[in-house]
Amino acid sequence: MWGIVRQNVGGASGLSSQVMRLRPVASAMRNYSSATKEMTVRDALNSALDEEMAADPNVFVMGEEVGEYQGAYKITKGLLDKYGPERVVDTPITEAGFAGIGVGSAYHGLRPVIEFMTFNFSMQAIDHVINSAAKSNYMSAGQINVPIVFRGPNGPAAGVGAQHSQCYGAWYGSVPGLKVLVPYSSEDARGLLKAAIRDPDPVVFLENELLYGESFPVSAEVLDSSFCLPIGKAKIEREGKDITITAFSKMVGYALKAAEILEKDGINAEVINLRSIRPLDRATINASVRKTNRLVTVEEGFPQHGIGAEICASVVEDSFGYLDAPVERVAGADVPTPYAANLERMAFPQIEDIVRAAKRACYRAVPMAATA
């Protein structure tokens, strides 16, 4: 179970979508079959919540405007009518209070899904996420587990200004005892939210407002009510051999577009959709870098102490000899988010930033000499 391990990063299988099944089905793993249906991320989240609430009476939803308003972003639409006000609970604007109430109810065995209208407001309640939820199983030596999900939009939207645009992936991702998930597609949204709700530990589920309206193809198995994705496994969205690009949430879409542009320049990029910040799928990332020898990390959050910094450190620790170029980080600008559209555009990664960083990683054959 545990032991002192010198070298443990083997080649990960690098399989594309690993699907965890809850009812036995004939074939084991496969890519998603030819898409017959499209689904928005919003509907994916809504249907996941609906199915999990139907399956387990202990699951309930709590947050601001989740009930009568049908959800600030309509993610919880229809749930109040279906499940009633005892299970879809509208709260006052008191995050510290209702996050604490949610955690307390989880101590007593309920399975709350607490919505933060955006994760910026989670800072009001962050003590409960970390000290009351994340650490309890450890401090109680396993007596008190906390099967809670904190979900809501994370990161920038469009023009919402500095106080409403921060990405909390790095902060929550650093806390042992938490699981931090970052869906991109509708398949991710359904599978990861269902997994999060079923998980016995506290999960921070970071969505993205601008992705809610985006449609993605979904296969029959994704639509099945038993569909679940494994926690802690990244997905290779696009296979490639020249460079690895890691991304999560909205940046996966940007990375895929950057990969198309890079293809025209003869650079074949592998795009990894992290899906999970904690646990971080170091095995998949390292296996990919050992194959491609170059890495660009992409995130919308602040650059210092960010997700890319952790991925870079992991690759340097486990796959140093395989790197043919320094790791490139593309991240949000190191400034509070400005409002003006042109400045806001400069504050977050654009497709051309990813392309440029990838090209840099590809043309730099020897390490750059230290600048004077």
Position 5 contacts another protein (CB under 8 A):
yes
Total residues at interface with another protein (CB under 8 A): 55
What would the x/- binding string for another protein be over residues 38 to 67, using CB under 8 A?
Answer: ----------------------x-------
Closest CA to 65 of 92, 46, 42: 92
Selected binder of another protein within 26, 28, 86, 366 (CB under 8 A): 86
Token output for 25: 């089905």
Nearest distance from C-beta of residue 94 to another protein, angstroms: 4
Nearest distance from C-beta of residue 6 to another protein, angstroms: 7
- HSE of 29, CA atoms in CB hemisphere, 13 A: 10
Q: What stretch of H or E contains 250?
A: helix 250-264
In this structure, what are the phi and psi dihedrals at residue 283, rounded to the nearest 5 degrees? -60, -50
Strands (E), 142-214: 149-153, 179-181, 203-207
Q: Which stretch binds another protein (CB under 8 A): 194-202, 288-296, 304-312, 349-357?
A: 194-202
Residue whose CB is less far from another protein, 2 or 363? 2
Closest CA to 48 of 279, 226, 252: 226
Which single residue is written with the structure tokens 């929550």? 172
The C-alpha atoms of residue 99 and residue 57 are separated, in whole angstroms, by: 20
Position 19 contacts another protein (CB under 8 A):
no
Selected binder of another protein within 42, 238, 282, 290 (CB under 8 A): 282
Position 194 contacts another protein (CB under 8 A):
no
Report angle CA 176, 181, 187 to the nearest 5 degrees.
155
Please list the active-site residues.
95, 164
Residues lying near another protein in the complex (CB under 8 A) are found at 1-6, 8, 60, 86, 89, 91-92, 94, 96-110, 127-128, 131-132, 136-145, 147, 176-177, 179, 199-201, 230-232, 279, 282, 317
